[in-house]
Structure 1
Amino acid sequence: MTTSHQEHGTHTHTHGPDCGHTAVPHGDHMDYAHDGHLHREHSGHWDECEPAGHTAHEGHDHRHGEGCGHARVQHGDHVDYLHDGHRHAEHGGHWDDH
């Protein structure tokens, strides 16, 4: 799974621990959920941090939903769930690993 480098050129807000947006651990950095998409700091600017491609989370038996115990993050037209340091999104009868 890779992410594209799509700079968010007009993004003037500085994300951080107290900015009010949900922090999402993502590998070696932190993404921030903002207006239904994710931002990542990169070389002095903010990138749109979106997965490229489709990666199913094989063997994921847990059903995410209201009250499941995992933080919910609005992501475009659906909700992702933060689980073990990554995001899960329901897709086609299984969970994708973002």
Structure 2
Amino acid sequence: MTTLHHEHATHTHAHGADCGHRAVPHGDHVDYAHDGHLHREHAGHWDECEPAGHAAHEGHAHEHGADCGHEAVPHGDHVDYVHDGHRHAAHDGHYDDH
């Protein structure tokens, strides 16, 4: 799964350990939940961190929800759950791997 590169051109806030936004480890970088979307630092600017395409997380028997024990991250019109270093989002009866 690749990530789309959409620069957030008007983003002047510098994310970091004490910035007040939720840090979400994501592969080899950290995303920051900000205003219902995720930002990642890239080449001196901030990108909207969105997956390109659809990647179903096969064989995911765990049901995410308020008491599942995984961190919930509001993301646009849904909630992602941080699980094993990536985000899961409910989609058409399965979870997508973000």
- Shorter chain as normaliser: what TM range? over 0.9
Query: C-alpha offsets along residues 40-82 of structure 1, whole Å, 9 cap, x if unaligned?
Result: 1011110111001000000000000011100100000000000
Matched with 2:23 is 23
| TM-fit CA distance, 1:26 | 1.2
**Alignment length (residue pairs):** 98
Matched with 1:53 is 53
Amino acid of the structure 1 residue aligned with 2:13 = H
Write out the 4+ residue segments of structure 1 that deviate beyond 2 Å after TM superposition: none
Asked if 1:14 is matched to 2:14, the reply is yes
Matched with 2:2 is 2
Say which SS state the counterpart of residue 49 (structure 1) adopts: strand
Name stretches of at least 5 consecutive residues in structure 2 with no aligned partner. Answer: none
Matched with 2:33 is 33
2: CA distance, partners of 1:22 / 1:61 = 26
Matched with 1:82 is 82
2: CA distance, partners of 1:9 / 1:42 = 12
| TM-fit CA distance, 1:27 | 1.2
1: CA distance, partners of 2:61 / 2:70 = 14
Q: TM-score, normalising length from structure 2?
A: 0.97
| TM-fit CA distance, 1:4 | 1.4
2: CA distance, partners of 1:83 / 1:48 = 20
CA RMSD of aligned residues (A): 0.6
Amino acid of the structure 2 residue aligned with 1:79 = V
Matched with 1:43 is 43
Name stretches of at least 5 consecutive residues in structure 1 with no aligned partner. Answer: none
% identity of equivalent residues: 80
| TM-fit CA distance, 1:25 | 1.0
